Amino acid sequence: MNADASVEDIHDEIEAALRGALDDQWDEVLDQWGEAAPADRKAVRTHVSGLRNRMLRALLAIDTEEDLHRALATQYVEAKAHWTMLNMQIQHQTARAEDVEPPLLYRATCVSLIVQQLEPLLRPEHVDRISSFLAEPLE
């Protein structure tokens, strides 16, 4: 993200990242879930759309550059932590030799697309620090 960008420019970048192409990516992912009932696809789509829409509402309501940068990082932490938790559930189901619940896989994939869209809006060093923090085991 351009350091000299105005709040309006940042809002435009956020809108571009979290609308349009993201919806198309979700459609593509969910279309690959051939054996799913329409209600299952709709539930995953509702889940990730709700997450994205809540993020957009929060971010677009902020009107100072400093707070907007902090809020972007906070939203990234939330999305990355949500994806991490879903991924842990998948790993534990796999470790127990259970079939991984398909809705869980598709939620994780769609949430990862939100994470990917937010990353370019942050400085790479912030992404690295957040990712390292979330990957660290608690002692």
Encode pLDDT of 33-46 as tens digits: 989 999 999 999 99
Closest CA to 74 of 108, 19, 10, 121: 121
Q: Is residue 100 part of a domain?
A: yes
> Phi/psi class of residue 138: alpha, beta or left (left: φ > 0; alpha: ψ in -120 to 50)?
beta
Task: Please state, in angstroms and rounded to a whole number, the distance separating the CA atoms of residues 36 and 39.
Answer: 8
Sequence-separated (6 or more) residues with CB below 8 Å from residue 117: 17, 18, 21, 22
Q: Half-sphere exposure of 5 toward its Cβ, with a 13 Å CA cutoff?
A: 18
Is 29 inside a domain boundary?
Answer: yes
pLDDT in tens, 4-57: 579 999 999 999 999 979 999 999 999 999 899 999 999 999 999 999 999 999
pLDDT of res. 45: 96
Angle (nearest 5°) at CA 101 between 44 and 22: 30
Categorise residue 100: left if φ over 0, alpha if ψ from -120 to 50, beta otherwise.
beta
Q: How confident is the model at residue 3 (pLDDT cuts 50, 70, 90)?
A: low
How far, in Å, CA of 97 to CA of 126, rounded? 36
Task: Provide the residue range defining the domain that includes 123.
Answer: 7-135
Rounded to an integer, the average pLDDT of 67-93 is: 95
* Residue 136 confidence (pLDDT): 81
Is 32 a domain residue? yes
For the chain, what is the domain count? 1
**pLDDT for 82-126, tens place per residue?**
999 999 999 999 888 878 899 999 999 999 999 999 999 999 999
At residue 2, the pLDDT reads 54
- Give the per-residue pLDDT at 4: 59
Q: Find the helix or strand (DSSP H, E) in which 101 lies.
A: none
Whether pTM exceeds 0.85: yes
In a domain, 129, yes or no: yes
